Structure formats: structure tokens, C-alpha cells
Structure 1
């Protein structure tokens, strides 16, 4: 990293000066953050405490919840702090660290969703071979890949960004992203641009198409199955498909509005940041509502707690 800039303050100009409106946004962000933490922690604890949920699909879901906590925690505390400060800024080193965590969150979420789609594909299309294909060792290997590859590739991207000389120190965003930090530089990096395309292709486009391919195969098999089997496949895949569509739309909106927005600045900043604010909260809620096994486990844990209470 360019040591001469590591402690330099980067101004975030998306915020208004301190006032009543900032207090309202602070409370909204605070409650959103608290509910997100609670929803994901409850899901994690339910899966951890109920041995009947110690299956590949729920292990992947637990990791999706952990990843959601990483994503919202990389942004929400900093946003709340800036809403109450006179000067909204972040150190250049802190900005790069935020870029890394946000990108790891987004790419790992796609990777986990791709792995979950693969699990559903094997479960529905090759049910008799499921336990020989999705073994505990393979689950560990997939989870290692889900985290190791994004962290490695994105760390190198942030390293390339950190080597660029700076001539500007203002970002018109609520938080840092790699494109905004690159635009602070006085020069263009052909290697950085090329590597950015490689990152998008390998960590976003590839997982996206793997999920679509899994669902095409699931649909193909389901159409030839009985009505009962189709219903079971639909109930099994529905939560994952809803979460996948929700996250993909969130990412798409963030990218589009980040570059070509004609709406007010408040709506623009909210839409460009909503892939951080909303999916980590909606994902555990969707699975909690749509998945019968998780609903049953939550009920069982609550009943156990009520019965143990008077003792």
C-alpha cells in the first residue's frame, strides 16, 4: 500500500450536514442493522442447536447468514457514525479495508448461492447418489473454495488499487467501493481494469450462470416427474430461488443506479447501497418463513425454552 496516503482522510460527500433528517436516517439504519443481526443470529443458532438441520443445505445456509453479518457490519456502523458527525470521512486505509469486506461479502454470497443451487440439483436430479456426491468432505471443500477464492482474488484487487497515486480525496457515496477509490487516482491502470473484468467474470457472472444451469436441469427433470414430485421440488427450491433473485436484482439495481441515475440523491444513494442493507435481513426471513424444517426447529426451541422456564 502507498504508505504516504494510508492515514489520509477521504471525504464522503453523500451525507447532509448534521440535523433532524440525519437523526431519522440514523434510527432507520440502527433498527435495520439490529434486526439484521438478530435475524441472522437466530438462524445460525437454530441450525447449530438442532442436530436434524446438520445437513449440507442448512450448513450452506448458515454460511450465507454469517456472510450477511459480514456485509452489513462492513457498512452500517460506519454509516451511522457519519450520520452524526460534522465531517463525514474515513481514512484511506479504512476505505480500502471497507472495499475488501464489501466485495468479499457480495462475491461470497453469489458463490454460496451457486453451491446451494448445486446441492438442490443433486438432491432433485440424482437423489439416489446424493449422499455419495455431497459428502461432508466435499461440503468442507466447497466452503473453503467459497471463501478462499474471493478473499484471494479480491485482496489482490485491493492491493492493485492501493498502489495507484491519489490526486483527489472526495467520494460522493455513503461508503467506499473499488470503482470510486480507483477514480481518486491521477492515472489509469490498464492492469487494474483488466483484472476488474476478470473479477466480475469469475466471481459474479460464472456463479450466476451456474445457478441458472442448475435450475434449468432441475426444471427439465421436474417436468417429467409426477405432480407430487414437482410440488416437493418447488417447495425445496423456492426459498433459494427467491433469495437468488432478490440478491441478483439488488446487485443489478446498485450497479445501474450507481452509474446512470436520474432520481433524487437520497433515492440514488439508497438504491446504490441497498444490496448491503436489505438482502442480509431478507435472506434469513425468507428461509425462516418458507422452510418447514426451520419453522419446526424454531417452534421446538421456543417450546423447550417455555417448558424449561419455570424450572
Structure 2
């Protein structure tokens, strides 16, 4: 039985030799990472700089974009190093840090989307009371709760996996994840499995219940309301629903494939889909919100045009 302190590194078994295409893969992944960084940073700056966007919906969006920068940075730098490397290993401490980053990103993303649906519910179902129900103080408290609660939950997750006695160090993925490390344990993992199941259930079903409840109420108001109410709902809810479906697809696939053997899915497709929830939402969301929300679209154009003329 090998003590966990003796495991100094983990090896990723899902990487394969790309040969002459190694540098091309590196450039494609680097381009995607730069695109994610630039698009999310642009929208964060636009929201922070313009006072007209200091409204609850845009503050929640800003939190979403910050989280996407955080999550993609937890993945891409190591991914880029691994693409160029011939030996696909990572130190144990960095692996645990990546687990923390990936899991906090996923939890924050889903909770943020749930709070955004609640905000849209108040704006559409209670427009006259919206400013009293969704105050600046309440926005700050909700965003702080999302981040602090998620960080606390995942710090506790780390305290459960770091002391585990491991009998191997091979992870069959291209990044570190909690379940892959727990499966390597030769000590008792009952607490890890129970805690993981509870956290996964709460972090998925509680936000999902809130989202379903709010959208049922929104649809009721839309069907019984005026054309103007329906247009307002469509313009603000469409990007949110698209973001939710995009992230949920990737996250659900990752949860299912982590816990069940999906041998029917080709290995290449399985690798791509395991990266989906970490790459596609950070790439997709800034474009979706930037194009669909007219306030952001106009201010982005103005900022880019101003900087272009200045140069």
C-alpha cells in the first residue's frame, strides 16, 4: 500500500502522439485561450467602466465572465504545456490545485446562472418592485455567497482527497479531476464518495430547481402579458437559456463519464467532450451576450472604435 505523500506526480494517459501536428494543435489551443481571455476581459472592462451597466443583470454577468477567465486559466496553461511535452506528467500539488480550480469554476458557473434566472424572474414578473427587491446590497451579497460558499465546499473536498493512500498515479484524462484521483485510492473512500454525491446533487439540483421555477413563472407572465413583455423576456432570457443549455450539456456529460464507463463513445470524442464545459461556455458566453444585449453591443463598438481612432 503506497502512502499518498509518496505520490509526487500524476501521469495523464489520455494524451496521444500528434507527431507533426503537435505545434498546429498548440497554436489552435493557444488561439482559443487568447480569444477567451480577450472577449471576457473586454466585457468585464465594458461593464466596470460604464455606469449605465451598473445594474444587477450586468453585475451578475461580470461575475460570470470573471469565473470563465478563472476556469479557463485553470485548464489552458497546463493543457498547452502538455501538448508540447513528450512526457505527460504533473506534480501532485499542481494536480490538486487544478481539481480545486475546475470544481469551483463548475459550481460557480451553475450557481451564477441560477441567480441570473432569479434576477430575470424579478425583472419580468415584478417590474414595478424590481428595484426594491433586487438592491445593490443584495447583488453584492448574492455574488459573495456564490464565490465564498463554493470555495469553502471545494476546500473541504481537497482536505478529503489529499490524505488518501493511492496505489497508482495514472489519470485517464487530459486534466486532473477529483473522481479520477479517488479511483486510484487503496484506502477507504466511503466519506469521499458520500460527500461527492451530496455536493454534486446539491450543486446541480438546487440551482436547477430554482431555474425551472423561475422560468415557469416567466413563461406564465409572457403568455398572459403584452407583446412588449414577451419581447423583453425573449431579448434578456434567450442568451441566458443558451448559456445554461451549453454549460449543462458539457457538465452533465462530464459527471456521467466520470462515474460510468462510456466505452461506446470513441476515445477522441470522449476527450473532446470532457473539455467541453471548460472551453465552450467561456468562448460562447461573451459572444452570445455581446451580440444579443444591445447595451453591451453598442458600448463595445464605441470602445473599440474609440481606441482604433486614438491609435
Looking at structure 2, the residues matched to 304 and 146 of structure 1 have their Cα atoms a distance apart, in angstroms, of 35
Looking at structure 1, the residues matched to 199 and 218 of structure 2 have their Cα atoms a distance apart, in angstroms, of 28
- Cα offsets for 1:180-205 (capped at 9, x unmatched): 01011112321111111111122122
Residue number in structure 1 paired with 2:5: 4
Residue number in structure 2 paired with 1:127: 127
Looking at structure 2, the residues matched to 141 and 85 of structure 1 have their Cα atoms a distance apart, in angstroms, of 43
Looking at structure 1, the residues matched to 295 and 284 of structure 2 have their Cα atoms a distance apart, in angstroms, of 18
- Cα offsets for 1:55-104 (capped at 9, x unmatched): 11001101100100111110111011011112111111111110010000
Contact 2:4–2:162, Cα closer than 8 Å, also in 1: no
Residue number in structure 2 paired with 1:270: 272
Residue number in structure 2 paired with 1:201: 201
Residue number in structure 2 paired with 1:289: 291
Residue number in structure 1 paired with 2:104: 104
TM-score between the two structures when normalised by the length of structure 2? 0.94
Q: Displacement, 1:257?
A: 4.3
Say if 1:245 and 1:184 are closer, same or farther in 2 by CA, change over 3 A. Answer: same
Residue number in structure 2 paired with 1:223: 223
Residue number in structure 2 paired with 1:238: 238
Looking at structure 2, the residues matched to 266 and 303 of structure 1 have their Cα atoms a distance apart, in angstroms, of 42
Contact 1:64–1:112, Cα closer than 8 Å, also in 2: yes
Say if 1:261 and 1:47 are closer, same or farther in 2 by CA, change over 3 A. Answer: farther
Q: Displacement, 1:300?
A: 2.3
Q: Does 1:191 align with 2:186?
A: no
Looking at structure 2, the residues matched to 219 and 65 of structure 1 have their Cα atoms a distance apart, in angstroms, of 27
Looking at structure 2, the residues matched to 35 and 16 of structure 1 have their Cα atoms a distance apart, in angstroms, of 25
Q: Does 1:298 align with 2:296?
A: no
4+ runs deviating over 4 angstroms: none
Q: Displacement, 1:140?
A: 0.8
- Cα offsets for 1:100-132 (capped at 9, x unmatched): 100000000011111111110000011111111
Residue number in structure 1 paired with 2:43: 43
Looking at structure 1, the residues matched to 87 and 224 of structure 2 have their Cα atoms a distance apart, in angstroms, of 62
Looking at structure 2, the residues matched to 3 and 75 of structure 1 have their Cα atoms a distance apart, in angstroms, of 24
Contact 1:255–1:272, Cα closer than 8 Å, also in 2: no
Q: CA RMSD in A?
A: 1.6
Looking at structure 1, the residues matched to 91 and 56 of structure 2 have their Cα atoms a distance apart, in angstroms, of 40
Aligned residues: 307
Q: Displacement, 1:3?
A: 7.2
Looking at structure 1, the residues matched to 208 and 127 of structure 2 have their Cα atoms a distance apart, in angstroms, of 24
Q: Displacement, 1:304?
A: 3.3
Looking at structure 1, the residues matched to 300 and 139 of structure 2 have their Cα atoms a distance apart, in angstroms, of 25
Contact 2:291–2:297, Cα closer than 8 Å, also in 1: yes
Looking at structure 2, the residues matched to 296 and 190 of structure 1 have their Cα atoms a distance apart, in angstroms, of 53
Say if 1:5 and 1:135 are closer, same or farther in 2 by CA, change over 3 A. Answer: farther
Contact 2:167–2:185, Cα closer than 8 Å, also in 1: yes
Looking at structure 2, the residues matched to 5 and 122 of structure 1 have their Cα atoms a distance apart, in angstroms, of 53
